[in-house]
Structure 1
Amino acid sequence: MLKGRIETLSDDGLGLLHAGNKTVHVPFAYPGDSVRVKSTKRRFGRLIARDFELLEPSPLRATPKCGHFGKCGGCLWQGMKYKEQLKLKAELFERITGISAETRGSPRIWGFRNVSNFIVTTAGIGLKEYGNPLGVVGLSECPVFSKRTRGYLRALRTFLAETGLRPWDLKRKAGDVHYLQVREGKFMGEVMVNLIAHVRPSEEVLEAFVDYFSFADSIYWSVKRDERDDPRGEPLHVSGEELIRERIGNVTYFIHPNSFFQTNSYALELLLRAVEGFADGEKVLDLYSGVGTFGVYLAKRGFSVEGIEVNSFAVEMANRNAELNGVSATFRVGRAEEARIGDYDTAIVDPPRRGLKEAGELLVKRGVERIVYVSCNPRAFKLDYENHLAKAYRVEGAILVDMFPHTPHVEAVVELVREG
């Protein structure tokens, strides 16, 4: 049994307890907390507390709003005052990257998520338990997602009871229904429901599904053909609209079950404004353009935009978004590492979590004057900068936008200007 005070946080937001020659990572603990760790486990070379007692609370603490806090893996920092969350995000970012950045908080810290993937298992229906790959927290609420969460889950449970469809067994990797994905257009008020299942539905089952989720504007049933524990499948449009819409500022976006869209609609405009503020010139290259989230927004503000994205479906959606908004933006299929980079004034890059890697070297060689790097992974940015971009670019500015309240994560927008 180890006892002591949490003095600081790990890079991934866990409280660090130094006791003798041991360092224990304590989830849901914050600087200033006095704790007693009752048991630990070793994971990825670290000692992580499995059970701990809070002896004296930190002045950073706040009363969590969700009754599932402390077990659910969704909100590691919900027990911390929001202004302290923002300070610590900036500190962690600077510790990892060496860059001091202004932090812009989310306009809303409750009900801000526009999508939630509820796992449907024999152990419960809800979200994953923190630190336990086979554990599921049976949810009754989710205040970071929606006030309507209870209704969504009630409809799902009743539907399963009537049809006899089996929840997924995480240990045996067997069952019928694996996830319920719900998307909300926060500003447009539209709802999309997508059931991810390992079976094709009968007509009778589909009829019941539509009845129970008749409140949704768009209803999908996605067939999952693998055993991976993720909310992905081949979508079948069942009822309602093919797409829902979300409006950010004066830009409207179409959303499909397979679309990646930033999860915080309220903070997204802050992110887009930060990108716009660092962009310069007239011609913009939108690398890893996705569904055109950045490119369409910038085109609406007068930039001439060309986007490149490897996912052909995302490119189709981006071009539809450009047409919907009547802007000068063209998106095409291509790999970032092989892109023919022409005469652009600014390149916007929002790479996957692994970072740019080889595409970083391409940008260095092709001479784009300015890069606006968007990332929720500061380690990947640091590697990209040190290994590639620093050969030709200096950091001119940085803004952090809190897209993920109550977690250690933050979205960074870094302005890089070519030297020489």
Structure 2
Amino acid sequence: MKKGITIDSLEITGISSEGKGVGRVDGKVVFVKETVPGDVVNARIVGKKKKFLEAYAEELVKKSDERIEPFCEHFGLCGGCKWQHMSYEAQLKYKQGHVEENLRKLSGLDLPNVMPILGSEKTSFYRNKLEFTFSNFRWLTKEEIQSDEEHVRTGLGFHIPKQYNKIVNISKCHLQADPSNEIRLKVKEFADQHGISFYDVKNQEGFLRNLVIRTASTGDVMVILQVHYRDQEMLDLVMNFIQRAFPEITSLMYVINEKGNDSYSDLEIELYAGKDHIMEQMGDLKFKIGPKSFYQTNSAQAHKLYKIAADFADLKGDELVYDLYTGTGTIANFVARSAKKVVGIEYVEDAIKDAFVNSELNGITNTDFYAGDMKDLLANEFINQHGKPDVIITDPPRAGMHPRVTQLLADLKVDRIVYVSCNPATQARDLEVLGEVYNVEKIQPVDMFPQTQHVENVVLLKLRNK
């Protein structure tokens, strides 16, 4: 089994947590992208590791019953929607399976049955935030390369997976509702017409770098244009066009980024027109979303996710709740009316400022928020000062909780922990430690990201031998 060799009639029997089809040859696992369990393919090997092979399907010999026709012309090129060639029913089945497999294999715990995954009513146009990248040297398709025509090399779209300098120019994205597509297309057209330079990531030159579009259920729209250097005349030209062409934009902002990467969490974002935020509505709660604020990208599913977290917390009104990794305080404010007090902790200071504002907006007076590194801030001194919690809700990033945080939660021996995770593998790792003190009572997966392999999972832990 060497690179370049074709494996004939390889049956795809499973799917990996990264979204690739899984087959076996000579006892070795073969990962084949863009395949579905039940497919039979002729697969060409493109990578060889000690324990597995990587391949792509040269020919589809037999089509799986779970395979459907991808709806997006960019499928297979851009980094998103890797599962749109699979029926949504199958997507939910495999996501449920990944949660079960990760939690049982990696936690080593005796677990209850995983409840049926909660699917999303919207399977396209469900995101409230997208980030597009400008490039002066976009990716060309095979058809474009083979044609004799000259092609415009500027692009505005998404990165090709694992290719930091390769951008697919997006004609239509099925992830975010209008005016997202129209804004992106018209901004690119305007920049091309006026000869405005697109960023060259290798040489780190060019004006236009990045375009962020955020939409809200309230109808608010935020657009953030990221440019490489300050050229006020050029900036005014583009920003005035965006403002005139899209009067529905309620928050128009820009950021000057002279760094080597596109992150702007440490940079000043300047307001050009409108407000410095948009408003999101969740039930009867309002949330202020600033340019650096984290908010779940699937608003409708986020509401369902928080309802599950609140249900698992089972608050009676007299509890002290700690909300770890609180972000802009969405979960904290969501459960505050059912608790005596909620204390939120978050690393990003700007997010904590928004959390206070969100409490004030909703007339909530029993919350308090603190900014700091979780592993350093959440310690015995903090707990002695603010009180031992009765319930802990934790929603960490994909890497999971720091070992010191996990161990502290085990040592605290609170009544209940509600663990919300976007990565069942790291969640399982943390549950192994917590499982020494707590029993896992409920497990509820939630599909926040249709057409992708990603899944959220909520776990309820109760103190053992209370």
Report % sequence identity.
34
Q: Which runs of 4+ in 1 moved over 6 A?
A: none
> 2 CA distance for matches of 1:190 and 1:376?
27
Q: Residue 22 of structure 1: CA displacement?
A: 4.1
Q: Residue 210 of structure 1: CA displacement?
A: 3.0
Query: Which position in structure 2 is the counterpart of 1:268?
Result: 302
Q: Residue 235 of structure 1: CA displacement?
A: 1.1
Matches within 5 A, 1:39-188: 39-42=45-48, 47-50=53-56, 52-98=58-104, 100-102=113-115, 103-122=117-136, 123=138, 124-185=155-216, 187-188=217-218
> Given residue 181 of structure 2, which amino acid in structure 1 is its aligned partner?
R
Is 1:221 aligned with 2:221?
A: no
Is 1:408 aligned with 2:449?
A: no
**Worse overlay, 219-228 or 155-164:** 155-164
> 2 CA distance for matches of 1:43 and 1:320?
51
- 1:117/1:231 contact within 8 Å kept: no
Is 1:368 aligned with 2:374?
A: no
Query: Which position in structure 2 is the counterpart of 1:381?
Result: 427
Q: Does the residue aligned with 2:222 lie in a helix, a strand or coil?
A: strand
Query: Which position in structure 2 is the counterpart of 1:237?
Result: 271
- 1:23/1:47 contact within 8 Å kept: yes
Equivalent residue pairs, number: 418
Is 1:193 aligned with 2:207?
A: no
Given candidates 395, 398, 409, the residue that maps to 1:353 is 398
Q: Does the residue aligned with 1:219 lie in a helix, a strand or coil?
A: strand
Give deviations 1:315-373, integer Å, cap 9, x for gaps. Answer: 00100011111112221223322322323221111112221121111112223211111
- 2:74/2:170 contact within 8 Å kept: yes
Query: Which position in structure 2 is the counterpart of 1:2?
Result: 7
> 2 CA distance for matches of 1:44 and 1:365?
40
> 2 CA distance for matches of 1:358 and 1:21?
40
TM-score by length of 1: 0.94
Give deviations 1:227-260, integer Å, cap 9, x for gaps. Answer: 1254654311111111101111111111111111
Q: Does the residue aligned with 2:165 lie in a helix, a strand or coil?
A: coil
Query: Which position in structure 2 is the counterpart of 1:290?
Result: 327
Given candidates 394, 397, 411, the residue that maps to 2:442 is 397
Q: Residue 163 of structure 1: CA displacement?
A: 4.9
> Given residue 419 of structure 1, which amino acid in structure 2 is its aligned partner?
R
Instruction: Say if 1:146 and 1:52 are closer, same or farther in 2 by CA, change over 3 A.
Output: farther
Instruction: Say if 1:43 and 1:255 are closer, same or farther in 2 by CA, change over 3 A.
Output: farther
- 1:220/1:239 contact within 8 Å kept: yes
> 1 CA distance for matches of 2:27 and 2:204?
41
Is 1:202 aligned with 2:240?
A: no
Query: Which position in structure 1 is the counterpart of 2:311?
Result: 277
- 2:254/2:270 contact within 8 Å kept: yes
Tell me the C-alpha RMSD between the 2 structures: 2.1
> Given residue 2 of structure 1, which amino acid in structure 2 is its aligned partner?
I
Instruction: Say if 1:57 and 1:154 are closer, same or farther in 2 by CA, change over 3 A.
Output: same
> Given residue 194 of structure 1, which amino acid in structure 2 is its aligned partner?
I
Q: Residue 303 of structure 1: CA displacement?
A: 5.2
Q: Residue 201 of structure 1: CA displacement?
A: 3.8
Instruction: Say if 1:313 and 1:230 are closer, same or farther in 2 by CA, change over 3 A.
Output: closer
> 1 CA distance for matches of 2:284 and 2:242?
34
> 2 CA distance for matches of 1:165 and 1:17?
48
**Worse overlay, 224-233 or 93-102:** 224-233
> 1 CA distance for matches of 2:359 and 2:437?
32
- 1:399/1:412 contact within 8 Å kept: yes
Query: Which position in structure 1 is the counterpart of 2:342?
Result: 305
Query: Which position in structure 1 is the counterpart of 2:148?
Result: none
Query: Which position in structure 2 is the counterpart of 1:329?
Result: 367
- 1:280/1:346 contact within 8 Å kept: no
> Given residue 20 of structure 2, which amino acid in structure 1 is its aligned partner?
L
> Given residue 70 of structure 2, which amino acid in structure 1 is its aligned partner?
P
Query: Which position in structure 2 is the counterpart of 1:314?
Result: 351
Instruction: Say if 1:203 and 1:322 are closer, same or farther in 2 by CA, change over 3 A.
Output: farther
Give deviations 1:59-116, integer Å, cap 9, x for gaps. Answer: 1112222111122210111111111111110101111111542210112111100000
Q: Does the residue aligned with 2:229 lie in a helix, a strand or coil?
A: coil
> 2 CA distance for matches of 1:157 and 1:19?
47
Give deviations 1:165-189, integer Å, cap 9, x for gaps. Answer: 322223333332221110000x201
- 1:11/1:96 contact within 8 Å kept: no
Give deviations 1:272-315, integer Å, cap 9, x for gaps. Answer: 10100111342211111110110011114455211111211110
Given candidates 6, 12, 19, the residue that maps to 2:18 is 12
The higher radius of gyration belongs to 2
> 2 CA distance for matches of 1:270 and 1:64?
27
> 1 CA distance for matches of 2:426 and 2:191?
42
TM-score by length of 2: 0.85
> 2 CA distance for matches of 1:129 and 1:326?
45
- 2:28/2:51 contact within 8 Å kept: no
**Worse overlay, 217-226 or 313-322:** 217-226
Give deviations 1:186-207, integer Å, cap 9, x for gaps. Answer: x201110001222124045225
Instruction: Say if 1:44 and 1:298 are closer, same or farther in 2 by CA, change over 3 A.
Output: farther
Q: Does the residue aligned with 1:172 lie in a helix, a strand or coil?
A: coil
Instruction: Say if 1:44 and 1:154 are closer, same or farther in 2 by CA, change over 3 A.
Output: farther
Q: Residue 58 of structure 1: CA displacement?
A: 0.8
- 2:45/2:53 contact within 8 Å kept: no
> 1 CA distance for matches of 2:264 and 2:91?
29
Q: Residue 407 of structure 1: CA displacement?
A: 0.7
